[in-house]
A and B are shown apart, each in its own frame.
Chain A
Amino acid sequence: MKLIDALMTGLAQGGMIALVALGYTMVFGVLKMINFAHSEVFMMAAYVGLFVIAAVGGTAHPLLAAVGGTVVAMFACSLLGITIERIAYRPIRARTRGSKLARVTPLVTALAVSVLLQNLAQLLFTARYRPYPQLFQNTRPIIFVVAIAMMVFLELVVKKTWFGKAMRALSTNEEAARLMGVRTSRTIAMTFALGSSLAAVGAVLYCLDQSQAYPTMGFKIGTQAFVAAVLGGIGNIPGAMLGGLLIGIIGEMVKLTSYSGGVDVLVFVVLILVLLARPAGLLGTTRVEKV
């Protein structure tokens, strides 16, 4: 019974991690860079959600508050994602294409954006831990259902729409996609918007369940989500979902043993093992580099 309980919790946790992991993997797919700022987008979404829920009236209208908070957070974070891409990443892309610093520069920028947002949150909201109101009695099934629904929605977007096709084309070969008439800049911006809004859903769900928002909250979930993306094969969308669910379940299983504090260490060990044994991830494919 305890095992089934942990499995359910793990699935809910995993679904939420997967939502964040999708953002990492999609941006990596189109830009081949780790968007370190993604975890900070997650954190900002938690705050936006919190404020909207408080403004709507919180526990008086739980459903309205939760839906309203999620939708506004999604919208705000799409804007934030697009802004980050426009201000920080796009100028660098234009400048460093083919230069020797093409690898380090985006990383430094992403890291700097992350630090900037985190400290901005510290100034705006102070370092205080802010509790989320308890909106529902049992949040786990809701989290799981919403997470699965979002993934199905994403799968439809990626497989069935023109935008999804453009995104896949871009991640396979940017030059060829451009020549075939894909507007790369717009597609990249939309990828950021989509990834950020998924992270926003994840953030509100996370806070409804664990009920605290603070400026450095992005780090822990961000690391787990990144490991999930690598585990599934970074750049691979179903891989990120699978990786997220696996990380969530593994985490809950570890909590059943006496080493419950070791989840973060274990996540890291998983990362090292994946890198050693199968660097392309579970569902990823290795591409041979041609000169």
Chain B
Amino acid sequence: MAGRTWIRTIVLALLVAAVSLALDMKLADILTDGSLRQLLMLTACNVLVAVSLNVINGMAGQFSIGHAGFIGLGAYTAAVVASQLHVKLGSHAPTLAASFIVVPIALLAAAVVAGAFGFLLGLPSLRLKGDYLAIVTLGFAEIFRLLIATATVGVQDTPAQAWSAVRGPGTFFHALGVSITALGGQNGYAGPGDQGVPLYAGPFWILTIVTLMVVLAWRIKFSGWGRALRALREDEIASAAVGVDPTRYKVTSFVLAAVGAGVAGGLLAMMRDGTPSVQPDTFNFQASFDAITMVILGGSGSVTGAMLGGVFVTLSIKAIEYGQGSSFVQDLRRHAEWLDLNALRMILYSALLIALMILRPEGLLGERELFQKKRGAKAS
């Protein structure tokens, strides 16, 4: 039996790889509209955002409200690494072959940076009871965004010069400031010399990596680790008494969530058909709130629920964006200046969340999955 499941897993993995490889080459012919291709990949990335946030908010029962900060960290890291590699490779137009060098390295860097910051934030705040994680992640995400958007240290210097001049703490902070300023401030980062971030991640990378991470999240949920997280969420003292170390489990799952967000950010930054720059304002509080909405709507703790939430929220955001640009709404706005569809969407979402919390706090699916495994039914 065991051998059979192994074969099935390998066949499935090959199938996913083959399909996404085929899409990578042929998608431009199937979907001639670039914005539709973008929508498809954006949805996949947001599914990863939702699934990763679900690990900490749903499974571990902690509450992070600064997920956009980790997405942003990943996006900036991947954009910088990919741009540097792109120059090293000779600045040719991105090819699928070259992407096998660039994308893994850039995503690895994004994951490591996001994970490291996750560890730094999670350790002090998850050690405690209460909702400190919420406020710490909120503060972190905003400070990350504001630092990048407003940094103006030594605009003339290049980071390389500043770092080679480091002699002590003062010059160190100066070099750090110069590096952050080099990320482009409010206008966003568009590679060295503003040539644009190379967009290496086509459907192949996005689909395989998102699938891989979703499978990983699924495996976590139905593993001993997932059960330990669930036990912690239900009763921390009782699970600590039977040997589940609360801090260790909570911090590791928070780091995992941050890594997932970092990878999602990296994919977003390098997404083919996307914009070739990374803007700080993409990672504002509204982005974090959207991520929370995805998780809660679908059902806290449910992997497929988070995926559904991700698809729904992404589609509705894009629909609103489309509607906001349409001539009908533009006409309406000329008469009613206050009509801001996005603000209206946020009001509807938050009202929906409040109602959901009152009527069905566990979300639409609760902890159930759409396709419950036979073994999973026993486990949960």
Contacts and interface: CB of A to CB of B under 8 A. Distances in A.
B282 interface: no
Interface string B128-151: 111110111011101100110010
A113 B350 contact: yes
B237 interface: yes
Contacts of B354: 87-88, 109, 112-113, 116
Contacts, number: 129
B343 A109 contact: no
Contacts of B347: 116, 119-120, 123
A101 B362 contact: yes
A34 interface: yes
Contacts of B300: 101, 104
Contacts of B346: 115-116, 118-119
What is the size category of the interface that chain B forms with chain A?
35 or more
Contacts of A227: 135, 139
Interface stretch (B25-33, B57-65, B91-99, B190-198): B57-65
Contact of A124 (B121, B140, B143, B338): B338
B285 interface: yes
Contact of B131 (A91, A107, A109, A118): A107
B344 A123 contact: yes
Nearest to A107: B63
A92 B361 CA distance: 9
Nearest to A122: B343
Given A101-B300, A123-B344, A276-B124, A108 B136 contact: no
Interface in B53-78: 57, 61, 63, 65
A126 interface: yes
Question: By DSSP majority rule, is chain A's interface helix, strand, loop, or mixed?
Answer: helix
Interface string A211-251: 00000000100010011001000000000000000000000
A112 B351 CA distance: 7
A190 interface: no
A145 to B, nearest CB: 31
What is the size category of the interface that chain A forms with chain B?
35 or more
Which 8 pairs across A and B sit closest by C-beta, in order of nearness? A116-B350, A112-B353, A112-B350, A119-B346, A119-B343, A122-B343, A115-B350, A275-B124
Interface of A: 32-34, 87-88, 91-92, 95-96, 99-101, 103-105, 107-109, 111-113, 115-116, 118-120, 122-124, 126-127, 219, 223, 226-227, 230, 261, 264-265, 267-268, 271-272, 275-276, 279, 289, 291
Interface of B: 57, 61, 63, 65, 121, 124-125, 127-132, 134-136, 138-140, 142-143, 146-147, 150, 233-234, 237-238, 241, 285, 289, 292, 296, 300, 337-338, 340, 343-344, 346-347, 349-351, 353-354, 357-358, 361-362
15 contacts: A92-B357, A101-B61, A101-B361, A109-B358, A111-B292, A112-B353, A112-B357, A113-B350, A115-B346, A116-B346, A116-B347, A118-B346, A264-B146, A267-B139, A268-B140
